[in-house]
């Protein structure tokens, strides 16, 4: 027995399917907002994070998995994605060759040496976006709207969106001076981390999670009182846009985020499950002013956010927000006897190529045992092939839902199945939504994928009819 590495977790079977579902919904909404996928390495040169995330952040100070490789380079397992995504844009010269903003979405694991607890792992997954080359308020709010929409499509109600502004440089300098004065009177009573933050980056103190420090922090000066007129107007405009989009929010003047590159608007999405479970922010992001130029790009700004897939999956489970995700197979072949096994082996290959998910029972001999296995595999139809069937070129088909049984000619099998699954689809399809069977509510996913009913398939030369037939595959593919 080997133990799993502390702070990591296996995501397997149904849970992996739920993660994929979350990622698929988020991907569709991101595509709808004009984002393109980026896949960047897990390994980056350590300097990238020291420069961008900032050496006053907890991440760089104590959470990075950094090691020297055999060539003597300092390598870090990415603790976050923004820096790597921007680096990839710079390296690919996208800022020189493409229109602004360059919009990226990503999904995958990050690594932070944190104290493991509920909703906090050392390897965890994020889905996030970066909109680079964006300085307008509209892009900031568009990005918040994108994150909000992803969560709404996943079924979240009663979301709590917290926003704050870190202002412009001048506002921040004024504010930091006020904080310095205030905390200089209290820092001796505060935690060791805060003592360091006091020296390194005083704003970070507001992000302290030590409960004993909170009363002191709560009485600290508020950024709102130190904003320049321009920064104040900007923040007001963000609020009025959110109101116009009917996206509920609250201003949290202590929200500063854990990464040093943020400036301007910052935000977090929170959600408490009905059983009271709350694993911290499920997603967070903000505007960054200098990050792109620090990484070697032009002096342009950006905005982005990242969702924590683990936390989202947990609260969705708590509140039963997942739709029933298809788990069964279309066809379960039951061969009786050696010849039938050989025949079934080839038949399964053909049926799978036709788009029907198919399992063959090689592991049981009796009918009773095979039917039990078919049930556990949640099969729709059992295809029974025995000696009689082989001799007469027939096949026995049992509908495992209705228990009806029928015999057909083998040569009619394809048309029988096409007909059966088409009819099954129609009777289940009480809407015109082409994605009904993917486990989304009617209308929800299609709107965000940008297709009307039927369109997604017609546009696609490979398919004759529906793209989302039955259990999500294309029975009508050539
Ligand atoms: P927190 O305040 O909870 O530590 P953070 O400020 O470090 O979060 P970000 O770096 O902005 O968070 O990451 C965005 C999201 O990624 C978080 O809102 C959270 O959902 C998720 N996340 C961050 N760290 C972890 C972790 N160690 N384990 C699981 N999810 C995480
Ligand atoms: Mg953190």
Determine whether the shortest distance from the Cβ of 187 to ligand 1 is under 6 A.
Answer: no
Mean pLDDT of the chain: 89
Confidence band (pLDDT; 50, 70, 90) for 55?
Answer: confident
Looking at the CA of 119, name the nearest ligand.
1
**Beta strand residue intervals within 120-261, DSSP E:** 123-132, 160-165, 250-251
Determine whether the shortest distance from the Cβ of 57 to ligand 1 is under 6 A.
Answer: no
Sign of CA dihedral 291, 296, 301, 307: negative
Atom of ligand 1 nearest to the CA of 114: 27
335: its two tokens = 């061969």
Question: Does residue 259 register a pLDDT over 50?
Answer: yes
Sign of CA dihedral 289, 309, 468, 155: negative
Substitution site in 284, 285, 307 for ligand 1 pocket (most atoms within 8 Å of beta carbon): 284
Please report, rounded to a whole number, the percentage of residues in the chain having pLDDT higher than 90: 79
Cβ atoms of 143 and 305 within 8 Å: the answer is yes
Looking at the CA of 257, name the nearest ligand.
1
**CA 297/CA 291 separation, integer angstroms:** 9
Atom of ligand 1 nearest to the CA of 258: 6
Confidence band (pLDDT; 50, 70, 90) for 426?
Answer: low
Cβ atoms of 107 and 125 within 8 Å: the answer is yes
What's the whole-model pTM score?
0.87
- Phi, psi dihedral angles at 466 (to 5 degrees): -75, 145
**CA 221/CA 235 separation, integer angstroms:** 18
Report the separation in Å between the CA atom of 59 and the middle of ligand 1, taken as the mean of its atom positions: 11
What DSSP letter does each residue of 423-444 carry, written as one string? Answer: HHHHHH--SS-TTGGGTPPTTH
pLDDT tens-digit series, residues 74-83: 999 999 999 9
**CA 257/CA 18 separation, integer angstroms:** 28
The closest residue, in CA terms, to atom 22 on ligand 1 is 308
Looking at the CA of 126, name the nearest ligand.
1
Report the separation in Å between the CA atom of 160 and the middle of ligand 1, taken as the mean of its atom positions: 16
Atom of ligand 1 nearest to the CA of 126: 16
pLDDT tens-digit series, residues 97-149: 999 999 999 999 999 999 999 999 999 999 999 999 999 999 999 999 999 99
pLDDT of residue 260: 74
pLDDT of residue 57: 86
Question: Does residue 477 register a pLDDT over 70?
Answer: no
């Amino acid at each position: 027995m080997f133990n799993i590495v502390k702070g990591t977790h296996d995501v397997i079977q149904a849970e992996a399917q739920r993660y994929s579902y979350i990622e698929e919904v988020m991907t569709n909404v991101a595509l709808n907002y004009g984002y393109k996928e980026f896949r960047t390495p897990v390994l980056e040169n350590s300097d990238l994070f020291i420069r961008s995330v900032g050496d006053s952040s907890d991440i760089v100070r104590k959470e990075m998995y950094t090691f020297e490789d055999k060539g003597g380079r300092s390598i870090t397992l990415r603790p976050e994605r923004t820096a790597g995504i921007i680096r990839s844009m710079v390296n690919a010269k996208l800022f020189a060759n493409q229109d602004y903003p360059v919009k990226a979405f990503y999904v995958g694991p990050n690594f932070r040496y944190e104290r493991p607890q509920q909703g906090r792992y050392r390897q965890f997954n994020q889905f996030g976006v970066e909109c680079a080359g964006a300085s307008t308020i509209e892009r900031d709010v568009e990005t918040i709207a994108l994150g909000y929409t992803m969560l709404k499509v996943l079924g979240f109600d009663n979301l709590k969106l917290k926003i704050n502004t870190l202002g412009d440089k001048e506002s921040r300098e004024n504010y930091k001076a006020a904080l310095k004065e205030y905390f200089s009177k209290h820092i001796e009573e505060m935690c060791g981390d805060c003592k360091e933050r006091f020296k390194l980056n005083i704003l970070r103190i507001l992000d302290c999670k030590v409960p004993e420090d909170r009363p002191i922090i709560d009485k600290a000066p508020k950024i709102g009182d130190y904003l320049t007129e321009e920064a104040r107007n900007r923040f007001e405009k963000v609020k009025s846009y959110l109101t116009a989009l009917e996206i509920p929010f609250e201003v949290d003047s202590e929200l500063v985020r854990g990464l040093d590159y943020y400036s301007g608007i910052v935000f977090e999405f929170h959600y408490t499950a009905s059983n009271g479970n709350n694993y911290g922010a499920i997603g967070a992001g903000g505007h960054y002013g200098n990050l792109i130029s620090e990484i070697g790009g032009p002096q342009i700004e950006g905005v982005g956010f990242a969702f924590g897939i683990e936390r989202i999956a947990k609260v969705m489970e708590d509140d039963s927000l997942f739709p029933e995700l298809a788990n069964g197979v279309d066809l379960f072949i039951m061969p009786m006897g050696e010849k039938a096994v050989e025949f079934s082996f080839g038949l399964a290959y053909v049926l799978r190529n036709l788009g029907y998910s198919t399992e063959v029972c090689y592991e049981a001999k009796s009918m009773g045992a095979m039917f039990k296995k078919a049930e556990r595999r949640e099969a729709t139809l059992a295809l029974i092939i025995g000696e009689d069937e082989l001799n007469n070129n027939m096949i026995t088909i049992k509908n495992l839902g209705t228990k009806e049984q029928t015999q057909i000619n083998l040569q009619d099998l394809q048309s029988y199945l096409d007909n059966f699954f088409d009819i099954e689809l129609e009777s289940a399809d009480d809407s015109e939504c082409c994605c009904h069977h993917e486990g989304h509510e009617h209308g929800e996913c299609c709107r965000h994928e940008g297709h009307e009913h039927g369109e997604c398939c017609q546009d696609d030369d490979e398919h004759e009819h529906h793209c989302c037939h039955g259990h999500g595959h294309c029975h009508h593919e050539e």
